[in-house]
Amino acid sequence: MTNTNEQTGGCLCGAVRYQTTGEMRDIVACHCRQCQKTSGHFVAATQVAIKDIQIQGSQALHWYPSSLTAKRAFCKECGSNLFWQKDTLQISIFAGTLDQPSGLSLTKHIFVADKADYYDLVDNLPKFDQFDI
Ligand SMILES: [Zn+2]
Ligand SMILES: [Zn+2]
């Protein structure tokens, strides 16, 4: 299921807000070490085309280069993790920052091989050791 309606969201303090207008990918949960460290648990994210998102308060965002190929953005005021970006065409939006209802569903788990040991994945969704390929 994808949500093609306009969707809004933002950080905890409200310094960063965003609107999307295009198709949104369903939610993917990533259990890699970088997502564990930056989120405090694991990351659940949707993804949209860069052309389909407008960000207000982007001066409050700090983009951290979390790997050689990807960067993550958090709010400098409240620390909320908002975005992950690997190329210039798509941007991932951390699902917890979406205003409710999102109309989206969690559909898969990736980087399960790196999952922390203190929780189990008990749903029946597809699980991939790394990327979903
Ligand atoms: Zn904030
Ligand atoms: Zn990850």
> Ligand 2 center to residue 44 CA distance, Å?
9
Compute the distance from residue 42 Cα to the ligand 2 centre, in Å: 7
34 Cα–ligand 1 center, Å: 21
The rounded Å distance from CA 122 to ligand 2 centre is: 19
Do 85 and 91 touch, CB atoms closer than 8 A? yes
Task: Supply the pTM of this predicted model.
Answer: 0.94
As a whole number of Å, the CA-based R_g of the chain is 14
Going from the Cα of 78 to the center of ligand 1, the distance in angstroms, rounded, reads 4
Contacts within 8 Å (CB) and 24+ apart, 10-14: 10/57, 10/82, 10/97, 10/99, 11/60, 11/74, 11/75, 11/77, 11/78, 11/80, 11/82, 11/97, 12/75, 12/78, 12/79, 12/80, 13/75, 13/77, 13/78, 13/80
What digits encode the pLDDT tens for the residues 52-110?
Answer: 999 999 999 999 999 999 999 999 999 999 999 999 999 999 999 999 999 999 999 99
pLDDT digits (tens, 9 = 90+) for 48-61: 999 999 999 999 99
